[in-house]
Structure 1
Amino acid sequence: MAIKVLSDKCKGCKLCIKACPFEAIDMEGKLAVINEKCTACNQCIPACPFKAIEKTAEAEGPVDLSAYKHVWVYAEQRRGKLMNVALELIGEGHRLSREIGDDTKVCAVVVGNKIEHLAKECYEYGADTVYLIEDDLLENYTTDGYTKVMVDAIKKYKPEIVLLGATHIGRDLAPRVAARLNTGLTADCTRLDVKVSSYIDYANKNTTLDTSSLDPNSDDKGLKQTRPAFGGNLMATIICPKTRPQMSTVRPGVMQKKEKAEGATGELIKVNPAIQKSDIRTEIVDIVKSAKEIVSLTDAEIICSGGRGLGDSSGFEMIKKFADKVGGVVGSSRAAVDAGWIDHSHQVGQTGTTVKPRIYFACGISGAIQHLAGMQTSDIIVAINKDPDAPIFEVADYGIVGDLYKVIPQIIEEWDNAESLFDAASKK
């Protein structure tokens, strides 16, 4: 749908300009004109006393899909450091670009100021090309500024696929970009495929997906975007057959980073952004970091998580001691967060953080499907629970049935013994 001004009825009263929250209406002489900032929010329609504005169906023809090429990854950075999810998505983009073939490249898009040094890291993790968008106004993330430069770049270079991390910034940026490009967006994807055969191989391992009507030899290379639905009880695969680019957000920890290739190089394209201060409706006065401990669950090698089975908040004192002993960080289930026992930043699961550590200790966690969706790809899962029928044991590599207040102290004690033996052996 689109907003249209009827020139024969417009009187140039400018009431529509005052009503528009997006500065999407300009005056050309005495005629109101809708510009590219319009989101079709309809605020201008009732504001016009002359009924000179109406909503109409888009008159544009079908999108030329052949005009779009390459896989773009929004390489999110904060204060000059790439987020881990950006490197994961570059690796995934590299895989997808090779499946598509036809000289398709994976391109990292880095937005900010004085960040050219990040291009080297993007190349080393698989990027063929880096699009560098730098400006003083892009020093810190703003919704308006980053949306504008991303939309302008996509319109100019026409990528076929655009991937973003499902971080706080990615979840804010992606839908705004998609809306301005009039394309689709699939959020929180857990699987991406372009080859039908690859998708069928994956889907056949999941009984909730029916692939009987799909031809594995099909040359369809549209993006198959799979994500959990209905609380993780169903896996939905979504396609975007009529518009481009095909856009997805992916949670941190879901995709695999490509092995780092030291010294790798690639093409650098510097994009000159057409951005002015007036394009940004918000102003960052100050950045105040939280005084509480910062939890980096996505980068942790070992996570010790506690759930409702701890009984109360004091149980996390033992979990913290356990995590410190094994060199890990503290996680939690949603039940523990909802009970107010620990901050939400520690939450693992579908409504928390998706993690993929080498070892995941689930202590007093029953294994609700929302929690499993956020940690079941861990390399090794160790479950400790009094209930032998707890669902967590179905995904655990090692299960201990018992009182965690007795089991965990024993693990800590054995860990101390092992360290003592190692120290003694190293001195010989």
Structure 2
Amino acid sequence: MNTPVPEYLADLLQNCKAAQGGKLADYIPELAAADPNKLAVALTTLDGLVYSAGDDDYEFTIQSISKAFVYAYVIEALGREAVLEKVGVEPSGEAFNEISLDQTSDQVKPKNPMINSGAITVHSMIPTTDNTDRAEIIRQFFSKLAGRELAFDMAIYQSEKDTAFRNLSIGYSLRNLNILESDPIEVVGSYVKQCSIKVSVKDLVNMIGVLVNGGVLPQTGERIFSHLTVRQVLTVMTTCGMYNAAGDWLAAVGIPAKSGVSGGIIGVLPGQVGLAVFAPKLDRYGNSVRGIDIMQQMSNDMGLHLLEGIPSSRAIVNDEDITAVKPDVRVYKLNGVLQFAEAERLLRKLQADDHRDNTIIFDLSHISLINKVGQRMLLDGIDRLRADGHDVALVDPEHILPRAKTKLNFEPKVYENLADFDN
């Protein structure tokens, strides 16, 4: 059988193509010339498997999405307290390019690292040796996270640099207040170059895998960030990542996120899943219109809202939980919570297993909770096993799975315990 996730993502894009509105980022000439019809989505699991659909190999510039990763990089390099001395964590309630400073403490500083004043300050703090270009340091770091060599879009870089009047004014204001300690022209130019690194949605979900996985890069097993660094970054993404639309985003989608004016959005649900979307047309806050629509549908469909309060079970089924009770019967004993992340791992396990058995039994007696998406995915898996020629039965003494029939109009046999199957 095949997992239904790729089909779901393709259907999601098809359904979202009707979402209109928004406009390209016309204040940057090169971005104003972007193809408004590009649309892509990608998803990464806790262990780094990537699913994607649409224009998933199309490259666009990372723009402000870079702020989250550079913030994490600098915290890891200098320590959280050193960064908090320079940049706060309070939502600004203002546009991303406002000259927004927190003046409630003894030290005036940018309100948070997700607006330009904070991001320029954080960029200036990147440790360098031998006059190494900060943007090149970040390009190399992003390449490591993405698992491939990334490049600058020099046309976008030059276009942004030539029109960076607002950012230069922010830079001079920061230098005047001694927040920047070096030439604002050099810092702003390097920051703009950081934003011009080219990525696809598949690159982005590979990069955010390190945030999903608590600071460990799934592809290599290397620890990149501490747990505290990840928590700090995800907290600021939650409150500030969508600028002055952060409140609406948190209520409707409920996933720590960061957007960019080229049309990308990333979302991270720690311990479960990472998401990335791309659609160039923006709303008045600078966030992708269709990207928001896609993210909201995924959050609703998969039960991903941060405040759902459903714990994650990392191992829904282990190898020792799969037993053969008869020569042609295999039992999968499921454990803990069955929501999207766990259901995806289960279906992937079923896809990988060599099912020569005629009958497959799912033992649900050790499941403590199953949400709607977990129900749908399990029933879809049953359909796919049936289509492959298998009989399917359930051990469900607590009746946690509704007795609704599957899409193939098949209702599995249900037993109170496994011993009943032999009878």
TM-score, normalised relative to structure 1: 0.30
Larger RCO, structures 1/2 (Cα 8 Å, 6+ apart): 2
Q: Which has the larger radius of gyration?
A: 1
TM-score, normalised relative to structure 2: 0.30
